[in-house]
């Protein structure tokens, strides 16, 4: 299922096979939380910006429109008209970051919907049932995502429960995949490593979940309050205990530099809302001059594209001056053109990382770009 083609140092060049196509890794997944990319991008646009994997959220789609609706419409691929690979987050992170009035028990979590406050219960089985209805290619384990820092004894207890939840997820997904009316019988489960910023808890938890021999493993609970140094330290600690022959997914990370640094530490999959969110605020990535703020006065009469060397649909057709005008005039088109550019930038960044590993030039690539692109230039 996962083929590791090549390594340079710890950086890995591989491919992951799914029922909806092969994912070349390292890969950045483009986030479409509610079965739609923020900024009015359609599934067709995703193809034009070279998106490989679309990521949607179990929590959001469970609350609205309901996974029964998506299943009745033929699953998420058909519902949103995207025929490439889809990964669904388990809802764990959102239950702990978005929902209100949480109550955690061994069975699962009762929480209040962020939309209408209604009480909802979700445990490992429910999360798998929802993800099975959605029919994603990769389902994520239902876990507890704790904030950093959290007390050591709480983290230990939480991790043990997350392991027990993972066993239940595995069993439930196997059952669901064998049902005659399952949407995507080839759906696979990735486990999620937790443990806060405690290296020993992280390692112990990783060793425990590795025993379940799942098709992939994620590092969760990072980029939730800890420093960048802590994040890299935890990856360095956990990575040697992750199966070599399975893909590794660093959840919710990050800046272009974070991604380059995590690839250098052996990570294969990424996702982050940051490029789309930055785009919506007019902060656009360029290879030539770092991150620019397109709303800046200096772009008022600038008829060059956002990035002269970019071949995204936005840069091929529109000038900085036009983009700036659209932002100033509060036109929705500003969002779309900006998100399109930033997501294309991330997808291109990953393509260049893959090419660099292929050509044994990843060290040079890392040296050239790490810490550079994120720099605010105006």
Residues contributing to the site for its own copies (CB under 8 A): 34-44, 60, 64-65, 69, 72-74, 79-81, 300-301, 303, 313, 317-319, 321-322, 324-326, 328-329, 331-333, 335-337
Active-site residue (options: 45, 143, 271, 307):
271
Sheet holding 21-25, edge to edge: 2-8, 11-18, 21-25
Distance between CA atoms of 64 and 70, rounded to whole angstroms?
10
Question: Is 200 considered catalytic here?
Answer: no
Locate all alpha helices (DSSP H) within the chain, ordered by sequence: 43-48, 58-63, 67-72, 76-80, 92-97, 124-134, 152-177, 199-210, 228-238, 256-263, 274-280, 313-317, 320-328, 332-358, 362-369
CB of 1 or CB of 69, closer to its own copies? 69
What minimum distance in Å lies between the beta carbon of 145 and its own copies? 23
Q: Residue 159: exposed, middle, or buried by beta-carbon count in 10 A (0-12, 13-18, 19+)? A: buried
3-state helix, strand, coil in the chain (%, to 5): 40, 20, 40
Report the residue number, 304 or 367, with the smaller CB distance to its own copies. 304
Provide the minimum distance between the beta carbon of 126 and its own copies in the complex, in angstroms, as a whole number: 20
CB 60 within 8 A of CB 34: yes
Of 218 and 338, nearer to its own copies (C-beta) is 338
C-alpha distance across the termini of the chain, in Å: 44
> Which of the residues 89, 137, 143, 307 is marked catalytic?
89
- Residues 6+ away with beta carbon under 8 Å from 9: 264, 362, 363
- Asked if residues 222 and 251 have their Cβ atoms less than 8 Å apart, the reply is yes
Question: Smaller CB distance to its own copies: residue 76 or 209?
Answer: 76
Cα–Cα distance between 30 and 67 in angstroms, integer?
A: 20
In the bound state with its own copies, the residue whose beta carbon lies nearer, of 237 and 321, is: 321
Residue 78 beta carbon to its own copies: minimum distance, rounded to whole angstroms: 8
Contact 85, 52 (CB under 8 A): yes
Smaller CB separation from its own copies, 70 or 159? 70
In whole angstroms, the minimum distance from the beta carbon of 72 to its own copies comes to: 5
Task: Tell me the closest approach of the beta carbon of residue 359 to its own copies, in angstroms.
Answer: 35
Nearer to its own copies, 317 or 378 (CB): 317
Give me the least distance between CB of 249 and its own copies, in Å please. Answer: 25
Shortest Cβ 51–its own copies spacing (Å): 15
Instruction: Report in angstroms the alpha-carbon separations of 137 from 16, 50, 132, 134, 375.
Output: 11, 18, 9, 9, 35
Instruction: Provide CB contacts within 8 A for 170, sequence distance 6+.
Output: 189, 212, 214
Asked if residues 82 and 20 have their Cβ atoms less than 8 Å apart, the reply is no
18: left (phi over 0), alpha (psi -120 to 50) or beta: beta
The reply to whether 153 belongs to the active site is no
Catalytic residues: 89, 271
């Amino acid at each position: 299922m996962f083929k590791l083609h090549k390594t340079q140092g710890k950086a890995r060049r591989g491919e992951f096979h799914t029922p909806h196509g092969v994912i070349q890794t390292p890969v950045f997944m483009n986030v479409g939380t509610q079965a739609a990319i923020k900024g009015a991008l359609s599934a067709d646009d995703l193809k034009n910006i070279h998106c490989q994997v679309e990521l949607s959220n179990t929590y959001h789609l469970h609350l609205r429109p309901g996974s029964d609706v998506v299943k009745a419409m033929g699953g998420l691929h058909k519902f949103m008209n995207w025929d490439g690979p889809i990964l669904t987050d388990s809802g764990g992170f959102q239950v702990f970051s978005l929902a209100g009035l949480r109550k955690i028990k061994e069975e699962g979590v009762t929480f209040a919907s962020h939309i209408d406050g209604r009480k909802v219960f979700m445990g490992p089985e429910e999360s798998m049932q929802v993800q099975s209805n959605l029919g994603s290619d990769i389902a994520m384990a239902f876990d507890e995502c704790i904030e950093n820092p959290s007390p050591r004894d709480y983290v230990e207890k939480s991790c043990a429960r997350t392991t027990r939840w993972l066993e239940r997820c595995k069993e439930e997904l196997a059952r669901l995949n064998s049902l005659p009316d399952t949407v995507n019988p080839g759906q696979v489960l990735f486990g999620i490593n937790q443990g806060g910023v405690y290296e020993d808890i992280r390692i112990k938890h990783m060793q425990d979940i590795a025993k379940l021999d799942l098709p992939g493993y994620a590092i969760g609970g990072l980029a939730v309050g800890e420093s960048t140094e802590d994040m890299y330290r935890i990856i360095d600690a956990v990575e040697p205990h992750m199966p070599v022959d399975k893909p590794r997914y660093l959840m919710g990370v990050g800046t272009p530099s974070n991604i380059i640094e995590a690839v250098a530490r052996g990570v294969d999959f990424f996702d982050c809302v940051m490029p789309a969110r930055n785009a919506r605020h007019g902060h656009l990535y360029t290879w030539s001059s770092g991150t620019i703020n397109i709303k800046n006065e200096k772009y008022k009469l600038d008829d060059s594209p956002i990035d002269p060397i970019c071949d995204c649909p936005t840069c091929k057709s529109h000038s900085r001056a036009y983009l700036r005008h659209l932002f100033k005039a509060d036109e929705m088109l500003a969002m779309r053109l900006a998100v399109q550019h930033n997501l294309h930038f991330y997808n291109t960044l990953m393509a260049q990382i893959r090419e660099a590993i292929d050509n044994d030039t990843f060290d040079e690539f890392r040296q050239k770009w790490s810490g550079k692109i994120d720099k605010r230039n105006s």
